[in-house]
Amino acid sequence: MKQVLVIHGGAGVIPQTFPPEKIAAYKQGLARALGKGFLVLKNGGSALDAAMNAILEFERDPLFNAGRGAVYTADETHEMDAAIMNGRTLDFGAVCTVRHVKHPIRLARAVMEQSPHLFLSADGAETFAREKGLEFVDNRFFDDAYRYQQLLEAKEAGAIVRDHDIEAAKPMGTVGAVALDASGNLAAATSTGGTTNKACGRVGDTPIPGAGTYADNRTCAVSCTGFGEEFMIKAAAYDVHARMIYQGLSLEQAARKVTFEHLEPGSGGLIALDRHGNFALPFNTPGMFRGVQTNDSEPRVNIWE
Amino acid sequence: MKQVLVIHGGAGVIPQTFPPEKIAAYKQGLARALGKGFLVLKNGGSALDAAMNAILEFERDPLFNAGRGAVYTADETHEMDAAIMNGRTLDFGAVCTVRHVKHPIRLARAVMEQSPHLFLSADGAETFAREKGLEFVDNRFFDDAYRYQQLLEAKEAGAIVRDHDIEAAKPMGTVGAVALDASGNLAAATSTGGTTNKACGRVGDTPIPGAGTYADNRTCAVSCTGFGEEFMIKAAAYDVHARMIYQGLSLEQAARKVTFEHLEPGSGGLIALDRHGNFALPFNTPGMFRGVQTNDSEPRVNIWE
């Protein structure tokens, strides 16, 4: 059986004039997340654990917009969303508007495995996190001078902006991972700080099953990044699944149709993986931080085409 | 052009041994919501206004689980979710975990029309509601002795229960409406208090685009009711759309496939309407409160097959 991990760290403008040391730092961050996640698969672990471990590494890295590194709301706070889905069982867990949980993806997983519900918001999500003993931090833990500068620029521009569209030289991004394990099971996971200067309480596509995150062993695992509102109304992740199951398209065909015909140009990208180990990483923006590792190839990370 | 309004007031067990005066009261409630909504269409109004007006009437009626009449959380409070979608533009607005806004559906519509975001949660949603001048009430406004009794019974049973499954003689239910106006535009709207004894912060399918609520003029408008977690992981509303657009199924075929093959038996039902005025109201539970009115037929309301 093939083992495959595919990750993304956000899509957007990401100009090629970006300083070389920054490019190197992003590529190192991608490689670390890929390595942490793939190690799970190499050791015979589950797709679910592999996807989660990749996201945990992204949440630790301030270069990426998830966990530490989450962007600022209009109120100068941080509010995070995350989701995880098991392609074998369709089990799903998500949280939105989380402010004090160090690793939102762990909370999404706890919701999936330990709650009778699938999706918890805001204070209710944090009450559940306390009951389950998850690690809490002050909201200021997520502060970052670079992110704060981005907020000031966004406010000056009067814009609620997706990660990569304010000051093109400062890419950030929702993070995601899709994995296939040796048992042939798929999983998807996504985590984000949302959009800089967003109103408090704004929920994007990340925690919406079928929008930013979806997994079904019969078809594919998908994680999206981009203009969340567009991905929500287009049910982007589920649409990849639907085109495969109802039209008989291949993973590659379905992922490309969704990215280049279903979604608006410039709206973002997605990663998709099927149980045969086929994968696709299409994006309709100039760039997308991304990486792939399989049991029979070296890890690869990329930013542009 | 045809004008059509289809509504539901929840699906579940609803035993036929239900007292006749209760049955009459529910039927009157359905007829009022239908009448308020259809009047908009009759007067040349939009599908969006028609669907919203039907929901507003449901939110006023304590017999139905939305607005006044919303069930209790495990903390003896009320938390409501609502969504609305415009099939012409794919504009969408939703809120979750709202506690003090008298009409959650008005807030969902304000999010759709007056916010750069599509989905707001909890305190952030209420901050936005204040900015827009929506009517606020104390959470105790939603209290109801009958609902409270249901909570006590649910707690005793140790269950987090969907509306119609605790004490079968006490149906409640998410409410929904789909409408077609004289311009050929579709809209969908859904509002709910969720499940009795739910954890605070629980988000169900209602505010999730593609799960509990969806509308696209090319295919259909859909509003769902039932076991929200099942409808979420199955992207139930979007799946009706997907089967129509990718498989070429009729509205009736797609709605029945989703209800009887895609969703688990006993999980709920949905209402669906296409731009030619075809409609379907399938449910896989013993009953579903529902009603239909068109420009060339009398209003009809039903509970069982």
Give how far B216 is from chain A: nearest CA, Å: 10
A201 and B160 within 8 Å at the Cβ level: the answer is no
Tens digits of per-residue pLDDT, A199-254? 999 999 999 999 999 999 999 999 999 999 999 999 999 999 999 999 999 999 99
pLDDT at B1: 85
Taking CA atoms, A27 is separated from A6, A12, A127, in Å, by 14, 16, 36
CB atoms A238 and B243 under 8 Å = no
In Å, how far is B160's CA from the nearest CA of chain A? 8
Question: How much is the average pLDDT of A251-277?
Answer: 97
Tell whether B89 lies on the interface with A, counting CB pairs under 8 A: no
Counted across chains A and B, CB pairs separated by less than 8 A come out at: 153
**pLDDT-flagged residues of chain B (< 50):** 166-171
The number of angstroms, rounded, from the C-alpha of B158 to the middle of its chain's C-alpha atoms is 26
Distance CA B296, CA B207 (A): 32
Does residue A42 surpass a pLDDT of 80? yes
Instruction: Please report the residues numbered 268 through 287 in chain B whose beta carbons come closer than 8 angstroms to any beta carbon of chain A.
Output: none
Q: pLDDT class for A171, splitting at 50, 70, 90?
A: very low
For residue A202, give the 3-state DSSP assignment: strand
Could you tell me the pTM of the whole model?
Answer: 0.96
Q: Specify the pLDDT at position B232.
A: 97
* B92 φ/ψ angles, rounded to the nearest 5 degrees: -145, 145
Is B23's Cβ below 8 Å from some Cβ in A? Answer: no
A85 vs B contacts (CB less than 8 Å): 233
Assess B150–A contact: CB distance below 8 Å, yes or no: no
Q: Catalytic residue positions of B?
A: 174
**How close, in Å, is residue B173 to chain A by CA atoms?**
18
Query: Cβ contact (<8 Å) for A96 and B200?
Result: no
Contact A118 B232 (CB under 8 A): yes
- pLDDT tier for residue A168 given thresholds of 50, 70 and 90: very low
- pLDDT for the residue numbered A163: 54
The predicted pLDDT at position B15 comes to 79
Cβ distance of B203 and A120 shorter than 8 Å: yes
Phi, psi of B153 (to 5 degrees): -65, -40
Q: Does B127 touch chain A (CB under 8 A)?
A: yes
What mean pLDDT is predicted for residues A39-59? 98
**Which positions in chain B touch A90 (Cβ < 8 Å)?**
233-234
3-class secondary-structure state, position B298 = strand
Q: Give the mean model confidence (pLDDT) for residues A14-24.
A: 87
pLDDT reported for residue B158: 77
C-beta neighbour count of B17 within 10 angstroms: 7
- Top residue of B118, B126, B155, B240 to mutate, by most chain A CBs within 10 Å, is B118
Interface contact flag, B124 A90, Cβ < 8 Å = no
Mention every residue, 6+ apart, whose C-beta is less than 8 A from residue B140.
none
pLDDT at A129 over 80: yes
CATH for A4-295 is: 3.60.20.30
- Mean pLDDT of the A23-31 span: 96
What are the DSSP calls for B114-178, one per residue?
Answer: H-S-SEEEHHHHHHHHHHTT--B--GGGG--HHHHHHHHHHHHHT--B-TTTSSTT-----EEEE
User: Which two three-digit tokens encode residue A46?
Assistant: 């589950």
Q: Which of B91, B124, B204 faces A202 most closely, judged by CB atoms?
A: B124
Interface test with B, best of A197, A208, A241, A257 (most B CBs within 10 A): A208
